[in-house]
Amino acid sequence: MSAEKRGRHSEEFKREAVARMEKCPNITALTRELGIDRKLLYQWKWEAEGRPTRKPLPLTTQAAENGNLETLRRENAHLKRVLAEKALEVDFFKGALQQVEARRQSARGSGETPSMRGLISGRSRGKAD
């Protein structure tokens, strides 16, 4: 089984793929041509740029047992970011639900469903059946 089949690519292949990516207008087509996943190509690009890789943080209990204060701080910061993202999502969905409910209430007040509005307004304009 070749290295590519096992999911391992040479450094030269990675460099060439990233170089082509920078000049390519269609990344999806490039990844199909290369036979790799789009996410993998971006990982290679980010590695070439020197960006830090995302690695899961150790569990709090392990960090606490080892007395690793820096690990606990990193994990705490990560959890705060995740919590903030979830709070934003909740706020977004609350707003969307309020808009849906407001539309339902306005439709109930007129005695029609939103799908009936177009039919009723077409008839009220004097269109003959």
Q: What confidence tier does 126 reach under pLDDT thresholds 50, 70, 90?
A: low
Residue 27, helix vs strand vs coil? helix
pLDDT at 50: 84
**pLDDT at 13 (0 to 100):** 94
DSSP one-letter code for 128: -
The pLDDT of residue 120: 54
Residue 74: per-residue pLDDT: 83
Q: What is the pLDDT of residue 68?
A: 74
94 vs 92: CA distance, rounded Å = 5
The gap between the terminal CA atoms of the chain, to the nearest Å, is 71
pTM of the full structure: 0.38
Distance CA 38, CA 22 (A): 13
DSSP 25: S
Task: Please report the pLDDT score of residue 1 as a whole number.
Answer: 37
Half-sphere exposure of 92 (CA within 13 A, CB side): 6
CB 30 within 8 A of CB 24: yes
Question: What pLDDT, in 10s, does the model give residues 93-122?
Answer: 999 999 999 999 888 876 555 555 555 555
pLDDT tops 60 at residue 129: no
Gyration radius from the chain CA atoms: 27
Q: Which residues contact 68 (CB under 8 A, 6 or more apart)?
A: 58
The pLDDT tens digits of the residues spanning 76-90 come to: 888 999 999 999 999
4-56, pLDDT tens digit by residue? 445 588 999 999 999 999 898 999 999 999 999 998 898 899 888 888 766 66
The H-or-E segment that residue 84 falls in is helix 69-110
